[in-house]
Structure 1
Amino acid sequence: MADNSVLTVSIVTPDGKVYECETATLVVVRTMSGQLGIMPNHIPVIASLEVDEAKVTHDGKEDEIAVNGGFVEFSDNNLTIIADSAERQGDIDVDRASKAQHRAEEKIREAREKHDDQEVLRSQVALRRAVNRINVAKH
């Protein structure tokens, strides 16, 4: 019989599974509509995710995963995040993320000078992803 007091959490990307936990008691993510906390026996949910961190509480500790878009689906105490990309806190290369941040900032400046609104938007997304990775790594 399944344990109704815990969640099974999986985070997957096009490159494969990034994270799995079978003993979670709380997952907090940021959706397009705001922050969402899911505990065992929550009602079923499907929501689009913002570029932000996912926090998974289990066994008295909290894991943080940088999630860069995608969606979350929850039912029957199984939570799945399908993300464009995701990295566990300990796997984030802060130097690489900082370089990506600086590249994105430079591309934004250049695109604004050229009045290239599409490139500004693409570079802003890249900047949000880099800053998200840095923030998660430094928690």
Structure 2
Amino acid sequence: MKYMTVQVVTPDGVRYDHHATYISIRTLAGDMGILPDHVNIIAPLIVHEMKIRRIDDENHVDWVAINGGIIEVRDNFVTIVADSAERERDIDVSRAERAKLRAERKLQAAQTTHDIDEVRRAQVALRRALNRINVGSHR
């Protein structure tokens, strides 16, 4: 069986390291599915849910919340360098819900004062919180 090695690395260290038969990611250009022997690429990533089908259990899917970064695919080795990343089993959904509420409040306040930088920061925080909630709900 053909497979690829998938590693997700953040400034805090390796967050994911397994063999896989398929991954689904989201780049700035859109969604991308990657299978073994994929053409070599480097692409920027956005906040999204990464789906990974491991070789040890074809019926099981691992989900990882990716918060920006880049992906490099080279010779069946997939490296994702992310700003931050969390596996579904490590996400505290209630904490993510609280982060979502904080981000919504900050977004509303920033829109009221027309502070464009604060609006953008709040939008990113909201996207990250929603991504963590979605990934954490896959359990």
TM-score by length of 2: 0.95
Q: Hey, what's the Cα distance between the residues in 2 that align with 1:89 and 1:64?
A: 6
Give the C-alpha shift of residue 6 in structure 1.
Answer: 0.3
Q: Hey, what's the Cα distance between the residues in 1 that align with 2:51 and 2:88?
A: 10
Give the C-alpha shift of residue 117 in structure 1.
Answer: 0.8
**Corresponding position: 1:21 with 2:21:** no
Give the C-alpha shift of residue 33 in structure 1.
Answer: 0.3
Percent identity over the alignment is 52
Aligned residues: 135
Q: Tell me which residue corresponds to 1:31.
A: 27
CA deviation string 1:26-72 (max 9, x = no partner): 01101000001110001001111110011110131210000000011
AA partner of residue 132 (structure 1): N
Q: Hey, what's the Cα distance between the residues in 2 that align with 1:120 and 1:50?
A: 18
Q: Tell me which residue corresponds to 1:127.
A: 126
Q: Tell me which residue corresponds to 1:40.
A: 36
Q: Tell me which residue corresponds to 1:86.
A: 85
Q: Hey, what's the Cα distance between the residues in 2 that align with 1:35 and 1:16?
A: 25
TM-score by length of 1: 0.95
Structure 1 stretches of 5 or more lacking a match?
A: none
CA RMSD of aligned residues (A): 0.9
Q: Hey, what's the Cα distance between the residues in 1 that align with 2:50 and 2:71?
A: 10
Q: Hey, what's the Cα distance between the residues in 2 that align with 1:47 and 1:65?
A: 18
Partner SS, residue 99 of structure 1 = helix
Q: Hey, what's the Cα distance between the residues in 2 that align with 1:100 and 1:138?
A: 15
Partner SS, residue 43 of structure 2 = strand
Q: Which of the numbers 37, 40, 56 marks the counterpart of 2:52?
A: 56
Partner SS, residue 26 of structure 1 = strand
Give the C-alpha shift of residue 119 in structure 1.
Answer: 0.2
Q: Hey, what's the Cα distance between the residues in 1 that align with 2:50 and 2:39?
A: 19
Q: Tell me which residue corresponds to 1:107.
A: 106
Q: Tell me which residue corresponds to 1:12.
A: 9
Runs of 4+ deviating beyond 3 Å: none
Give the C-alpha shift of residue 101 in structure 1.
Answer: 0.4
